[in-house]
Every structure is written in structure tokens, then in C-alpha cells.
Amino acid sequence: MVGEEDILCTPEINQAIADAIPNSDFRLIEKVGHTLNLEAIPQSLALIQEFIES
């Protein structure tokens, strides 16, 4: 889970990490940066809940 506008740990870096982890699930949250817990609370919670329920 990464913000589309994250300049500290870019989506490309996160995608590479996800690609290296078997069965990982890369998710991009549009129009937010590095602090998902402040910028994208509802989106982050929805993705976490979806992960837990799957």
C-alpha cells in the first residue's frame, strides 16, 4: 500500500518490493503522498479490512 505521490518510498520502489515477495498484493492509493495514515485514512482502512477479510 503506497501513495501515488510518495517521494520518500516511491510507488516504483514499493512495486519492486512487492514483486520480490511471493503472494504479495501491491496497492496504489491515488492523489496522496507518504503519510497514508494522515492523508488517506478511509482508503487505508478499507484496504486493510479487505486484506484481513481475504
Q: What is the pLDDT of residue 47?
A: 96
- Full domain range(s) for residue 12: 2-53
User: Which cell goes with 11?
Assistant: 510507488
User: 0.85 cut: is pTM over it?
Assistant: yes
Q: What is the pLDDT of residue 54?
A: 86
Q: What is the pLDDT of residue 37?
A: 93
Measured between alpha carbons, how far is 16 from 13 in angstroms, rounded to an integer?
5
Q: How many domains does the chain have?
A: 1
pLDDT tens, the chain, 54 aa long? 999 999 999 999 999 999 999 999 999 999 999 999 999 999 999 999 999 998
Q: Is 53 left (phi over 0), alpha (psi -120 to 50) or beta?
A: alpha
